[in-house]
Structure formats: C-alpha cells, structure tokens
Amino acid sequence: MIDPPRSTNVPCVDQDRRPHRGPRLAHLSFVLLALTAGCASYGSKVERFTNAWNAGDYDSADAAIDGLISKASGVPSEVVHDSRGLSEAIDPSEGDTALYLLEKAMTQLALGDFDACIDLLRRSRDTLDPRHVNRDASAFIGTVALDDGFADYVGADYEHIVLRSMLAIADLLNGGDDAFAYAIQIDEKQEQILGSDFGAELSEDENAVTYSPQEQYQRVAIGAYLLGLVQETKFMTDEGAKAYERALEWSGGVGVVQDAYDEMSGASRIEQGTGLVHIIYLGGSGPVLVEGASPVSDLALALASIALVVLENEAGPLAQTQVRVPVVAVQDSFVPPITLRVGDRTVTTETLLDVNTVAQQQSDANMPWIVARAVLRRAFKAGVSKIAANQFDDRGAGELVNLLGNLLLTAAERADTRSWRALPAEIQIARVRLPEGEYVFELGGSASTGIRVRSGRTTHVVVLRPNLAAPATLLVDVYSRVQDVVDAPVSEAPTAAPVP
C-alpha cells in the first residue's frame, strides 16, 4: 500500500518561473498557485524503489535508490553505484540522503554485501542521531512557517530501534566482531527514548499544557534478546541468561525466548558436540506513512494554544476542521511463521518484533503533537494571507485575496510521509541445536543453502522475504558457508564493549 501520486508533498516554487508584472491580485494569485504545484509526494519519489523492493527485485531496487541518493546529494549516480553508496563525496546530511542510505543498506544486505550494509547503517545512524537527540517540543511546534517535509528527516522512534537491530543482525552475518556493542546500543536507545522529556520542557508552571507521548510506548524485546544471543555466542552464560530474562518479560513470554533462557540458566541441558543454528526471519513489507486526515482533538488544540497567543484568534475557526497528517499504512498485516528443515529436524519461527504494531502505537501516541503543529501552520498561513489582503484599498479585493489565500495555502498542505520503506513487517526467530557437520538448510522447498554447524558455535541464517508470495533469500554468516568455509576465531568475553 503506497502513497498514490500527488501533485505535491510540500509547498515548493519553481525557481525558473517568475510572475509577470500586473495587478497585485494577479501577482498574489500566481504566487499562491505556484506554491501548490510542481512537487511530487514522497511516496511517488520512492515508488520505483519501493515496488522493486517489495517484489524482491533487489538489483532494480538498488539501481533506483542510487538515483535518489545521486539527486539528493549531488553526486553522480555512477559514483554512488561504484562506491556502494560509501563515497566520501556523499554527504548524508544533504536533503533526504540519510534516509535513502538506510534503503541502500537493505539492498546491500539482500545482495550479500554485509560490509557495505553495516557502513551505510552507521553513516545514517550518525547523521540522524544528533537530530533525534537534540529535538524539543518548543522547536517542534514553533517553526510552523513551512510544511514538515522541508525539515531535516529525524526518523521515527521505532526506526532508530530497528536501525540498531539491523546493525547487530548484519554484523552477526559478518562475523560478529561488533555485534556486542550494537546489541547494547539497541536498549540504550530504547531507554533514551522512553526517558525523553519531549514536551516536559514546556511545563513552566503547574497549569501548563504538556504531553509526553513516549510515556505510552511499550518496551520491545529485540535489544535484550540480541544481547543475550551475542553473550551466548561469547560463552557469557550468566550475562546471557539475564538478558534473555529481560527479553522474556518484555516479549510477553515468546516460546523461543523461553528456550534460550532455559539453556543459559541451566534449566535445560545442552548436548555435547552440538552447535546452535539461529534463524532470523525478516518477513513481509513493513509499515509506510501515507497522507490522511485527522480531526483536531481537544488535546491537540490545547497543545497548539501554547503558540497561538502570538497569532491572536486567527486559528480558532481553522482548528475546527480536519488537517492533513501522516498515518501508518500496513502493507502485510499478518506474516505467517515459516517452517524450516535442517537435516532431519524442523523448526518454526516465532514473532520477536511486530514492526507494524510498534509503528502504529507510536504514531497514535504522537498524533496530538502532529495535529497541533498542523493547526499552527494553518493559522500562520492564514495570518500571512490576511496581511496580504490588508494591502488592498478595495475591501472586496482584499476579502477575495484573503479567501483565495486561505484556500490555496490550505490546499498546499501536505503531510510528511517520509519513512524507511524497506523494513520488514515482522522480525521472527527460531533456534535449533544440531550435531557438528554440514547440512542443507531448506525453506519449504522454495529455497535452500548449505550450512556448516560446529560444536559450541552459532550458525546465523537470515531469511529475507519482503514479498510473502515470492521465494525467500537466504543469507548465511561468513563462517558457516559450506561453499566458502573459514575457520572462525574463538570468541572470548570482552573486558569492555567496543565502540563501533
């Protein structure tokens, strides 16, 4: 479910077009009309990439995202392609480049280039983090002159969690040298988000209107689980058991997490001479943002009132109408678990993170802020239109300009629908222990690959399938590929977490 093509996402003016001299009314009308034309919605900008990704055509998706990175960063597409998006000439802070690099990271993962995937994710993380950490409600509601699409992309809270999760997953496939640090960063980021004072800084007295959406967020278990997995791989059994215990609590008792905890805590026995095959299933096409409409709630109006004092009473009537807002559109509402065969054993995946649900919950929690900002922006533009109308001596002309300005500027409103579109709908996991040896890993006869299992070690397999009706792509960690087996170094428990 993708944004339908629209004439605009944010108001923009074609700089090569200039209004001819003439009556001020015609001049103003032309400028207002120009504001409503010439821009494509974000959904239409990324449509070619999104369609290719959702179809499992990763080469085409990679070519499409290269073009978007080139346009946003000003770097030739050949340089983007040849450097795998890692050229120093590509500035992630330019336009929406950081967001496009997240999409590029996923295509590189799908194509088996784990190094590039990790580097791209890190560049995006390091660009988006300062924007995310330094935001505050005062600035959020105070800069209302332009649509949100003009602002730097910050990333939804859940995207920051999944970004670090993908870093840990990609690093496990790449040997796991930095997976410990990435896994720690997942829960550090989650605690930072849950402890955010966003909104609280507006409370200068006991009667102030405040609202902290993060207080409504539910903890997700993926960070604690992946930390437990890494600690298990590094033979840190006590620490692994504690991490799995947290994951078990936050996941609501997922069976595969219980199995992991039982093994690490000693409640169940691990057979000698066996190794763990760990499966991560990135299933379905994840949630995207599309433009919708929302009524103005009492809470949104109360939040908006903080800034409305500078606009006198201009926003009163406007606040009673619906405003355009980004809403979460679920593409794959249900991702069936998959059954895998390894040798003579079968195992079925269970959901660890429902990205759809988390995205929807967080969007609902933040909606009062989004609506309040839309109300303020509409009020600001109405004020600008009234100022323009007051410049006319003829009262009728002034009223016409005011009406025309309100209509056109309201029509120019576009919700900010930028979002990370290559995310899965769900992240599911499965575990199975097998005697040391080489095996054929099979997914329902539609996909298979060879893997090597070693005693006391963990073999990581990622199943990637954005299109639930198409064959999956199987990705095996670099130390467990039968066709390219490398002796993995023995992992020792680190004295301190690395800082990648």
DSSP 97: H
Q: Span 202-225, mean pLDDT?
A: 78
- Asked whether the predicted pLDDT for residue 23 surpasses 80, the reply is no
- Asked whether the predicted pLDDT for residue 387 surpasses 70, the reply is no
> Does any domain span residue 115?
no
> Does any domain span residue 272?
yes
> Does any domain span residue 435?
yes
> Does any domain span residue 8?
no
Judge whether 371 and 296 are in contact, CB under 8 Å.
yes
Q: At CB < 8 A and 24+ separation, what contacts does 483-490 make?
A: 483/450, 485/452, 488/175, 488/454, 488/457
> Does any domain span residue 75?
no
> Does any domain span residue 58?
no
Which range, of 32-41, 329-338, 458-467, 491-500, averages the lowest pLDDT?
491-500
> Does any domain span residue 125?
no
Number of structural domains (the chain) is 1
CA–CA separation, 492 and 180 (whole Å): 12
Which range, of 76-90, 191-205, 451-465, averages the lowest pLDDT?
191-205
> Does any domain span residue 2?
no
pLDDT tens figures, 227-259: 999 999 999 999 999 999 999 999 999 999 999
187 or 24, which is more confident = 187
Candidate ranges 96-105, 284-293, 320-329, 477-486; pick with highest mean pLDDT: 96-105
Give 266's contacts (C-beta < 8 A, 6+ positions apart): none
Candidate ranges 121-125, 128-132, 292-296; pick with highest mean pLDDT: 121-125
Angle between helices 97-110 and 58-73 (to 10 degrees): 160
Given this model, what pLDDT does residue 36 score? 45
Judge whether 75 and 443 are in contact, CB under 8 Å.
no
Q: Can you give the residue range of the structural domain that contains 168?
A: 24-40+135-484
pLDDT tens figures, 426-461: 999 999 999 999 999 999 877 899 999 999 999 999
SS3 (DSSP) at 228: helix
Q: Which helix (H) or strand (E) holds 440?
A: strand 437-443
Enter the tokens of residue 337. 């678990």
Mean pLDDT over the full length of the chain: 81
